Structure 1
Amino acid sequence: MMKKSIGFLALSVVLMTTSCKQESAADKITDADMKALEAEKALGGKLPKVKLDKLVHDFGTINEGDKVETEFIVTNDGEADLVIAEAKGSCGCTVPQPPKDPIKPGDSAPIKVSFNSQGKPGAQEKTVTLTTNTENGHETFQIKANVTPKAGIAATNK
């Protein structure tokens, strides 16, 4: 009986210390969740499935130094909650902002992506990679821009 009381007390303390904290979707994925996902995959079970409204967004011609933003809409076409554990741009100039909460089957959510063209003259193609709990485990999409260099600076690809 004493062990149960200590266990309950420890669980209560953990819940109290973490319940007030704002969590992202990545914080909600545990090692146990990942093992359960692998088991679901192996058994051909219910999984989330990512559907994007577009795979590429072209900002067209912009001026060097412009900060531009777009939105990709991700829809969960699967049968389980979709969790985006991480969203990462191929360069520090590309910053994605994924939804913080899991996306229910059939629901959609925006992923905002900003691009800072400072120091990036010329044709630019940047990739955003999502780490997810889908069968594939990751999804990618791109942004493009033709960045007009500041006056007096020759265009080069960086």
Structure 2
Amino acid sequence: MKKVVLLFSAVCMLAFTSCKEDATSKVDDTKVAAAAERDQAASKFPVIEFNKTDHDFGEIINGTPVETVFTYKNTGEAPLVITDVKSSCGCTIPKDWSREPLAPGEEGKFTVKFNGKGNNKISKAITVTANTEKGREVVKISAFIKPDPNAPAKTAAPLSPAIK
């Protein structure tokens, strides 16, 4: 057993001392500087700030289409790129956002159109996908939908013969 331990120790010593070349001599200083600059630039993200994150249309009549504009500004240190704007349902349509990079300090906008259909209080979320640190930002619209007073009154369905 002593021979095995002694042999194993000798092999380990040989393996550790056989690499005579120092690893630091292989490092290229220009590549280190380029990597540090790249890492510093990668930590700078655009920041999107909205003029409002929630818009309330108030009371609207059922079926009345409404729209609002959300304005945003890039307050970060890198160009902002919005890749997608989606709503939580098909009754709300975001449109007209720029797909071009927005430099720091510049502003942009997009329109959200809601078809106005529904009952009572509604709330819809619009998700903005961008190259920010979080990756997604959410704005919301809401409204209270009142029944249309000019709509024909719904009549009750006639009772089936079995129920009479």
Question: Which residue in 2 is equivalent to 1:144?
Answer: 142
Distance in 1 of aligned mates of 2:120 and 2:98: 31
List alignment gaps of at least 5 residues for structure 2.
Answer: 1-37, 155-164
Moved over 2 A (4+): 150-153
Question: Which residue in 1 is equivalent to 2:3?
Answer: none
1:46 and 2:44 correspond: yes
Query: Shift in Å at residue 150 of structure 1?
Result: 2.6
1:73 and 2:77 correspond: no
Distance in 1 of aligned mates of 2:101 and 2:110: 13
Query: Shift in Å at residue 40 of structure 1?
Result: 6.0
Distance in 2 of aligned mates of 1:58 and 1:144: 5
Aligned length: 113
Contact 1:81–1:102 (Cα < 8 Å) also in 2: yes
Distance in 2 of aligned mates of 1:59 and 1:53: 16
TM-score (norm 1): 0.66
Distance in 2 of aligned mates of 1:141 and 1:46: 24
Contact 1:40–1:46 (Cα < 8 Å) also in 2: no
| C-alpha RMSD of matched pairs (Å) | 1.9
- Rg larger in structure: 2
TM-score (norm 2): 0.64
**SS of residue in 1 equivalent to 2:76:** coil
List alignment gaps of at least 5 residues for structure 1.
Answer: 1-38, 154-158
Q: Which deviations, in whole Å up to 9, do the C-alpha atoms of 1:32-78 show, x marking residues without a partner?
A: xxxxxxx869x762211110011100000001111101011110011
2:59 aligns with one of 54, 58, 61: 61
